């Protein structure tokens, strides 16, 4: 199944996103996946599809589900400061001191602003075209949600969260990979005066 179709199906079935009209869905898909026109969406096991998506890193291939499971095990066995409070097939609830955060597998980031809560959320999936500008525009959104595209090794993250730092250390130590922000996000922050890359 194409990523756009799976992301659309995910958005329609996630009660946190709420009701979405056909027009809204088509516009959101067009923003994230330019040039894609959605037809009828097939039935799918969303959790299985999200977990099975492959990630190719140099000589190794893993799935998003394998990475999530390995991070849960890493938190339980290797990190004294991080507690696994809740664990499901596509979502972890984690605690660090008084901080609470979630790590969740997503097919895509359609309507992801509707997933924002007071607790920081790290969403793992495919960034899509709309994400960099949307997050650069919205300080509340980028302060609550981080997006990590493990396949592309890109991230949109301005969230203050120790759990997310531990996740990046885990990726570096276990898989030897590092994520960087896409140029569109960095340039968006610069153009809006949020950050400066000047000397001094």
**Average pLDDT of the chain to the nearest whole number:** 92
Is the model's pLDDT at 198 over the cut of 80?
Answer: no
**Above pLDDT 90, what percent of the chain?**
78
Banded model confidence at residue 144, pLDDT cuts 50, 70, 90: very high
**For residue 28, how many C-alpha atoms fall within 13 Å in the half-sphere facing its CB?**
22
99-124: average pLDDT: 94
CA-CA-CA-CA torsion sign (173, 167, 182, 2): positive
Structure tokens at 90: 């596509």
Structure tokens at 7: 């992301």
CA-CA-CA-CA torsion sign (70, 115, 152, 39): positive
Q: Percentages helix, strand, coil for the chain, rounded to the nearest 5? A: 40, 20, 40
Is the model's pLDDT at 165 over the cut of 90?
Answer: yes
CB neighbourhood size of 73 (10 A): 11
**Contact partners, residue 184, CB within 8 Å, separation at least 6:** 132, 133
Q: What is the pLDDT of residues 53-78, one digit of tens each?
A: 999 998 899 999 999 999 999 999 99
d(C-alpha 197, C-alpha 183), whole Å: 13
27-43: average pLDDT: 86
**Above pLDDT 70, what percent of the chain?**
98
């Amino acid at each position: 199944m194409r990523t756009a179709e799976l992301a659309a199906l995910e958005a329609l079935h996630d009660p946190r996103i709420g009701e979405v009209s056909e027009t809204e869905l088509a516009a959101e898909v067009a923003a994230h996946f330019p040039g894609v026109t959605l037809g009828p969406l097939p039935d799918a096991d969303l959790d299985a599809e999200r977990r099975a998506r492959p990630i190719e890193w140099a000589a190794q291939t893993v799935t998003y589900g394998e990475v999530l499971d390995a991070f849960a095990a890493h938190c339980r066995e290797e990190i004294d400061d991080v507690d696994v409070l809740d664990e499901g097939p596509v979502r972890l609830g984690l605690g660090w001191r008084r901080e609470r955060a979630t790590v969740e597998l997503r097919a895509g980031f359609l309507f992801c602003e509707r997933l924002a809560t007071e607790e920081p959320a790290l969403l793992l999936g495919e960034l899509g075209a709309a994400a960099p500008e949307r997050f650069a525009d919205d300080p509340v959104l980028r302060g609550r949600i981080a997006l990590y595209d493990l396949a592309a090794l890109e991230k949109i993250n301005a969230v203050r969260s120790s759990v997310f730092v531990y996740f990046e250390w885990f990726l570096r130590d276990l898989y030897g990979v590092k994520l960087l922000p896409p140029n569109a996000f960095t340039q968006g922050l610069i153009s809006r005066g949020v950050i400066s890359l000047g000397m001094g």
